[in-house]
Structure 1
Amino acid sequence: MEGNTGALSTYWQVDKSLSQSLSSLLDEGLWTDVTFTFNTDKSVVQIKGHRIILAARSPVFEAMFFRQMESNEVAIVDASPESFKLFLRCLYTDTIDLDEDSLIEVVKLAHQYQVGYLLNRYSGKLAMLIRKENVCKLLNLAVFYDLKDLKDMACDFIDGHVLEILESPGFMEVSVESMKVILSGDTFYVDELKLFQKCMEWAEKKCKQQELEPLYQNKRKLLGDGFFFLRLPTLSLADYTEHIVKTNILSVEESLEIYKYKCLPSQLENTLLSGNDLSNSTLPRKQKVNTILWPKNSSKVEFLCPNDVYLEGITMEDIVEENAATENYFRDISLDGKFVIKDIDKTAIFQAGYSSKLPDFIPLRERIFLKGRKTPYLITIATRCFASCNVSVFLQFMNVQHLLLQKWPYFKNPPFIKGILYQNVSNR
């Protein structure tokens, strides 16, 4: 038996995992039956593969090799040899780690060849790499290839960093469709006049690229449907007159409709929103994150919620003054509690424990979804707070006792809860 094991060890397949064995087939070009060719500037590059493996991973390759083609050679004209080789390696092994640029190329090829597993896996990895410098590029990718999860995460990031994104070089490079997605968001919270001006700057750059005169009419055409997601009716009358009307970007009829809305909003709002005359939204944009302020000395609050939101957690006031005495006095502080949305029978639990002071924010164990409606939600809260103290410090600073009694009477329903943090749900 030992002799047989020794003999087997001379073969390359022994002790390799499935992905390692398939990788060896690709790297060594063993028993290949298809060749991909690339015409580069310098020469023709060839990459060899295995029909059965490729067909097992991609319906496109299956149709190509077993239903349509008789040739053993395939010319690739829309990918570089380097990116295609990485894509094949991913198909063969599922285990390769890629940098950001390589991930983008593999995602494009995974979409082209309908490899859903790789598409989901690597677009998810891209979502984890989102930052200010690349979020617009990744949004372009997500919109073009219809990658919903990546698009949603890119939009959430943009909503949370609006001013930085507007001033970034990436904003000037977004596609028309991506611009439409950005502008459509109710939670893209920014001064509308500034947003209009940045969009005109974006459109002027597109005019230069297409050798068009940078007229406002041309800029509007390049924005396409995205123009109608600018919230021009929400501008003040002075800003609208000074900065919008004078550009002649609107027709006389469109401009008149907005003037009527500014003077008689209740009569014309439905007309504007219907798109019969002008579909620029009359709804102001909302901050992505906001707070339900908690009234002092009360265990309940009414929350008017006109749009869908998620309740995220509790925000706290500073409960310990910033000096050496109070910082060293408190230890083993804990807070637990719940709030109840009575008319929909929802309960949210929160709890925190820290060695010196409570945090500024305590998340809920499970966030709560509230549907937008015209009548307010009634929210009640109940909390308990416990703390031990450093006796030696307490004896040195007797005034801390007064602070303790003032800030935490009875340690029940303490008055240092500032409010409930919530996120407006994006309408994209």
Structure 2
Amino acid sequence: MAAASPPSDWQVGKTLSESFDHLLTSGIASDVTFIIGEERNRISAHKLVLLSRSPVFYAMLEGPMADKGEITIPDISADTFKLFLRYLYTDKIDLTDRNVVPVFNVARKYCVDILVSLCEEFLSKNLTAESACVFLEQAYIFVADSLQEECLRYIVENATVVLRSVTFTDLSLDCVTSITESDDLKVTERSVYEAVIRWAEEECSRRNIEASAENKRDVLGDTLYTVRYLHIDEDFLLGRICSDKILKAEDVIDIVNHNRNHNPSIPEKLNTKRRLVIPQRFHRNGPVTTDIFWNRTPVDEAISFKSSVDVYLFGFGSLFSSPEQGNVNLKVFEEDECLVEATKQRALPRPDTQNMGDVVLDIPIKIHAGKTYTILERSHNQVNHYFEKGITKVTHQHITIEFSNSPRSKQSNIRMGHIPYLLLSG
């Protein structure tokens, strides 16, 4: 920044921040020059401001190892360095999704802790499925513990989408492991397995090696065993996983032997703990109303549905009218085959869903994309509540559910009735 010939009264009417901003942009009385980035842009500044804001600049400019003459900083872009300097001069900065990571890196490099905190706060408030992994990697590199925790919290809650994102495969192995080892990861083990295999394929590409089963096993190391194989459905285990040949044959034998023969002996590397998977509610109901003539005698209420992708059915919502939740008989059909028949108790309603309770299956059912499934329930007690203005298509994240009428139903249909929502997880 070349020194200009400013008017002699440029300070009049300006705050301290505004005056310092003018000094920076005009170059008046500058006494240090930086050569910035690959393009070697020259940027002038003032030692007094820099050493008063950063202990690193103090060591560079006034310490026993102080640099003399121009200072070259090749690893920061000119735009980022100008933003950073303006913050040092004015305490103001306009953070965006595009600039926050490079500014965060510079703030960490020069130990400007307040700016680091501002960046961490911005990042934690603006996490998305694509950005969460990028920010997690930065937090890991710079040991930003609070940001790491925020990123992991977001990823755990939105695991279905994050694990399918492009940025997941760009993570370091340590960051991948910090995600896949979490007991709170809200996703099925099938999705965890598919995610780590996608990562392994990308890592082989980065290393310029063949994406063979052996190489994928090698690049994953112990992270391969953060998948909870004991809780993967056997069709997927004996189909996809066996055909991939990444998991060793003896591991597959141990898993099958444990599940089929209830053999308690299992290698320590095979984690037996089930993750805390919290399914999402896919509501199809409009407003709930009551009518003493509705369902005076309990009858079969049913609804059919299809999913756009493979998911797991954990249960469904059930309406009731009496303070006691009561029990329901239920059946779940895949096309015309009955997969489950049971008697279950409704759970207590949540504050936002009065007169509705969850009916949770003992074992989640895998729902195959494109197939028609039907849920049928019959209450043990009279239910006068029902909903109107039903929704035929519901989308949450990457999952779309389309409802249709079932010939098994006596009263409920896509427009009104019972079974107000499904409990699903991708």
How big is each residue's C-alpha offset from its partner over 1:49-92, in whole Å with a ceiling of 9 and x where there is no partner?
A: 22232222222222222222141321102111111111111122
> Matches of residues 117-156 of structure 1 in structure 2 within 5 Å?
117-156=114-153
> Matches of residues 27-38 of structure 1 in structure 2 within 5 Å?
27-38=25-36
1:201 aligned residue (198, 203, 206): 198
Letter in 2 for 1:283: R
How big is each residue's C-alpha offset from its partner over 1:113-164, in whole Å with a ceiling of 9 and x where there is no partner?
A: 1211101112211222222343332222223223333333333333333333
Task: Describe the shift of the 1:228–1:16 C-alpha distance in structure 2 as closer, same or farther (beyond 3 A).
Answer: farther
User: Aligned residue for 2:72?
Assistant: 75
User: Aligned residue for 1:49?
Assistant: 45
User: Aligned residue for 2:296?
Assistant: none
Q: What are the ranges of 5 or more consecutive residues in structure 2 without an aligned counterpart?
A: 1-6, 282-314, 326-349, 357-384, 390-419, 421-426
With normalisation by structure 1, the TM-score equals: 0.60
CA distance in 1, matches of 2:261, 2:277: 23
Task: Describe the shift of the 1:94–1:54 C-alpha distance in structure 2 as closer, same or farther (beyond 3 A).
Answer: same
How big is each residue's C-alpha offset from its partner over 1:168-205, in whole Å with a ceiling of 9 and x where there is no partner?
A: 33333333232222212223222322331232122112
User: Aligned residue for 1:180?
Assistant: 177
User: Aligned residue for 2:354?
Assistant: 316
CA distance in 2, matches of 1:152, 1:298: 41
CA distance in 2, matches of 1:288, 1:32: 60
Residue 98 of structure 2 corresponds to residue 60 of structure 1: no
CA distance in 2, matches of 1:62, 1:261: 63
CA distance in 1, matches of 2:146, 2:280: 20
User: Aligned residue for 1:13?
Assistant: 11
CA deviation after TM superposition for structure 1 residue 267, in Å:
3.1
What is the root-mean-square deviation in Å for CA atoms of aligned residues?
3.7
1:286 aligned residue (274, 277, 282): 277
CA deviation after TM superposition for structure 1 residue 260, in Å:
4.5
CA distance in 2, matches of 1:288, 1:115: 42
User: Aligned residue for 2:93?
Assistant: 96
2:84 aligned residue (80, 84, 87): 87
Task: Describe the shift of the 1:17–1:268 C-alpha distance in structure 2 as closer, same or farther (beyond 3 A).
Answer: farther
How big is each residue's C-alpha offset from its partner over 1:230-264, in whole Å with a ceiling of 9 and x where there is no partner?
A: 11222234432333344332345544443453356
> Matches of residues 229-378 of structure 1 in structure 2 within 5 Å?
229-263=226-260, 267-268=264-265, 272=268, 278-280=269-271, 282-287=273-278, 315-317=353-355, 322=388
Aligned-partner SS, 2:214: helix
User: Aligned residue for 1:219?
Assistant: 216
Q: Residue 152 of structure 2 contacts residue 179 of structure 2 at CA under 8 Å; is this kept in 1?
A: yes
CA distance in 1, matches of 2:110, 2:262: 51
Letter in 2 for 1:63: A
The number of residues matched between the two structures is: 302
Aligned-partner SS, 2:10: coil
2:168 aligned residue (166, 171, 175): 171
User: Aligned residue for 1:380?
Assistant: none
Q: What are the ranges of 5 or more consecutive residues in structure 1 without an aligned counterpart?
A: 1-8, 273-277, 301-311, 324-417, 419-428
With normalisation by structure 2, the TM-score equals: 0.61
Aligned-partner SS, 1:268: coil
**If each structure's helix is expressed as a fraction of its own residues, which one has the higher value?**
1
CA deviation after TM superposition for structure 1 residue 289, in Å:
7.2
CA deviation after TM superposition for structure 1 residue 23, in Å:
1.3
1:115 aligned residue (112, 117, 133): 112
How big is each residue's C-alpha offset from its partner over 1:323-365, in whole Å with a ceiling of 9 and x where there is no partner?
A: 8xxxxxxxxxxxxxxxxxxxxxxxxxxxxxxxxxxxxxxxxxx
Identity of aligned residues (%): 27
Aligned-partner SS, 2:36: strand
- Of 206-215 and 312-321, more deviation after overlay is shown by 312-321
CA distance in 1, matches of 2:113, 2:104: 10
